[in-house]
Amino acid sequence: MTATTTWTDAERIAKQRETVNLHISLENAQQQDRVLEETFATEGVFYDVVPGVTHLEGLEGVAGFYEMLFAVLPDIHISISHEYDVPGCSVREGVVTGTHSAEFAGVPASGKPVSFAFCGLYLFGDDPTRLVAERAYWDNDGLIKQMRGEEVPTTEMPWGDPA
């Protein structure tokens, strides 16, 4: 799509939803290259890891995040419980599960299962079929405690089970 395409708000939101659904399904399939190629724009992209106060610029920065993510949680699974959409931004809440398989935040791979709530903001520019950015929020302290074996993964979230 080009920036000259005119979208109604309803069309833009529908395309954003399709893009985010594809994005998450590719993450769940551990398809890093496809996540980048099929759901991100080619210019002006970034990824914000809010718990780590980390801002990653460009496709190289975003690719670096996914390399880390799929090393740390190679069997990652993202379940969505709530969806909110406005033109230019789709918000998803849910649960991430996986097995801690590589060093993360100074914690060596433990092989322990982890489960944590997250919120992701998926940001779009003029083209609702290509992400400009993702901004992810989660409880990093709780995640690290699970990786260390100090807490057990929870399957019960305050808002109910993910869909």
pLDDT of residue 121: 98
Residue 9 has pLDDT above 90, yes or no: yes
pLDDT digit string (tens) for 131-161? 999 999 999 999 999 999 999 997 776 666 5
The pTM score is 0.91
pLDDT of residue 159: 66
List phi, psi (to 5°) of 14.
-60, -45
SS (H, E, C) 44-81: CCEEEEHHHCEEEEHHHHHHHHHHHHHHHCCCCEEEEE
Three-state secondary-structure class, residue 98: strand
Residue 16 has pLDDT above 50, yes or no: yes
